[in-house]
Amino acid sequence: MRKYVIMGVQGSGKGTQSELLCDDLGLVHISVGDIFRWHVKKHTKLGAHVRRTMNAGELVGDDLVESVVRERLDQHDWNYGFVIDGFPRNGRQAEFFMESYDIDGVIHLELPEDEVRRRVLSRRLCPNCGMDYNLIADRPKEPGRCDICGHQLITREDDTPEALEARLSDYNEKTRPVLELFRRKEYVHDIDARPPAEEVQASIRDALHLPAYKATV
Ligand code: AMP
């Protein structure tokens, strides 16, 4: 059983790296942001509640986040373990998490802020199949259309300059101290997130003493 937390500023590649890590190791990727985005897309009551907060790039209340995380982990569909992404994001969430679960390692993706701005503002998403694109590094074949399903690509509503600044300042004020808390327990592996995704994945696996990545398809 392997239980990892992945941390890093927006645009540092947490989603991509989590997927690669889970793919051949049978781990479950739990993204709190994806759970909320699913609720917004499906127009659930929870989605209506968090939509405005998310679009402004602000953090959803701790009680709600904790209940979503607890409910997700209580499904116990993670026989081989999980990678949790986007949680914990502040001291209180970290305490809640450490009280309930033991963690095998924290992966910290490091990316300078000017690179974060460059990446996030060029990010595009397919609202139909969920495929991510980047207009700098990972363009769709036909501009504005998803390579997989052909749907028109959109910008995430919280990928505006204003929301990005709000998220960056929350990250610096609230999330960085969590890293220090984990660091005192020697859980943290600092990984340079600037190289191409496969190289970053190789560094993560090296740090965690895991076998090299083997694609499952
Ligand atoms: P992400 O995709 O991780 O950037 O999350 C998107 C948005 O979901 C964030 O900007 C927050 O509004 C909300 N969110 C995700 N995870 C958390 C969390 N741990 N605590 C509070 N809000 C969160």
β partners of residue 108: 7, 190
Ligand 1 neighbour 159 (Cβ under 6 A): no
Ligand 1 neighbour 86 (Cβ under 6 A): yes
* Ligand 1 atom nearest to CA at 36: 8
The H or E element that residue 29 is part of is strand 28-31
Query: How large is the average pLDDT for residues 174-197?
Result: 93
For residue range 191-217, list pLDDT tens digits in order. Answer: 999 999 999 999 999 999 999 988 776
Cα(32) to centroid of ligand 1, in Å? 6
Query: How large is the average pLDDT for residues 159-165?
Result: 91
Query: How large is the average pLDDT for residues 19-42?
Result: 94
Instruction: State the catalytic residues.
Output: 14, 89, 123, 156, 167
Probe residue for ligand 1, chosen from 10, 14, 36 as the CB with the greatest number of ligand atoms within 8 Å? 36
The protein residue with its alpha carbon nearest to ligand 1, atom 4, reads: 33
Task: State the pLDDT at residue 188.
Answer: 96
For residue range 96-148, list pLDDT tens digits in order. Answer: 999 988 899 999 999 999 999 999 999 999 999 988 898 988 899 999 999 99
Query: How large is the average pLDDT for residues 158-186?
Result: 92
Ligand 1 neighbour 158 (Cβ under 6 A): yes
pLDDT over threshold 80, residue 95: yes
The protein residue with its alpha carbon nearest to ligand 1, atom 12, reads: 54
Ligand 1 neighbour 65 (Cβ under 6 A): yes
What are the CA-CA distances from residue 109 to residues 18, 72, 183 (Å)?
A: 11, 24, 14
Task: State the pLDDT at residue 168.
Answer: 93
What whole-number percentage of the chain has pLDDT above 70? 100
State residue 13 phi and psi, 5-degree precision. Answer: 95, 25
Determine contact, residues 141/51, Cβ cutoff 8 Å: no
Task: State the pLDDT at residue 217.
Answer: 66
Q: The pTM is what?
A: 0.88
What are the CA-CA distances from residue 61 to residues 25, 54, 57, 96 (Å)?
A: 32, 11, 13, 14
Query: How large is the average pLDDT for residues 171-190?
Result: 93
